[in-house]
Amino acid sequence: MSDAEPRPVPWWQVILLGRNPKVTAIRLLITVALVVFGWKFLFVPIRVTGPSMLPNFQNGQRRYLNRLAYVGAEPQRGDVVAIKTSGMHNLFMKRIIALPGERVRIVQGMVLVNGEPLDEPYVPKRQPWNWPTDRAEWRLGADEYLFIGDNRTMPMKDHEFGVQRRDRIAGKVRL
């Protein structure tokens, strides 16, 4: 072998580092940065706490919050979302029941939206809730959504539910 010819790269180096170790290192750093950014800021892990979303979501389960779900789309009825209460460290996980501009009333445990009973296949027990049956009808504002947990057998006093503005929705719960 003469001095002008490049030395052959050992096979183990090609497998571990590629033919150009500098390019491989740069690609690895970019990949790690993207993964860390994605899991830290885009897909936030959350833990289900409490019985308000039973039986669909169990206490202690881990889920992921997709913070980009509503960048190009609006939240829809039936979506399970995380609602910001005080920043991204304290979130409520609830289901969207009513959309902006709709009229809502709760009568004997049945949610009425614009006077029609709401079809809720995610609520397994269709029994009157331990909630007041004479809740007056209210109209949601142009930027408001109504959220309720799936466990409708809990007494109303133990349930966190209500109307929140669109900017309080942190993202859509996945997995």
- DSSP secondary structure code for residue 156 in this structure: G
Please state the pTM of the whole predicted model.
0.75
Q: Give the model confidence (pLDDT) of 51-94 as tens digits.
A: 888 888 999 999 989 988 998 899 999 999 999 887 667 788 99
Instruction: For residue 170, give both structure tokens.
Output: 């942190």
pLDDT higher than threshold 80 for residue 164: yes
Domain 48-174 architecture: Ribbon (2.10)
Is the previous residue joined to 6 through a cis bond, with omega within 30 degrees of 0? Answer: no
Where along the chain do its domains lie?
Answer: 48-174
Q: How confident is the model at residue 169 (pLDDT cuts 50, 70, 90)?
A: very high
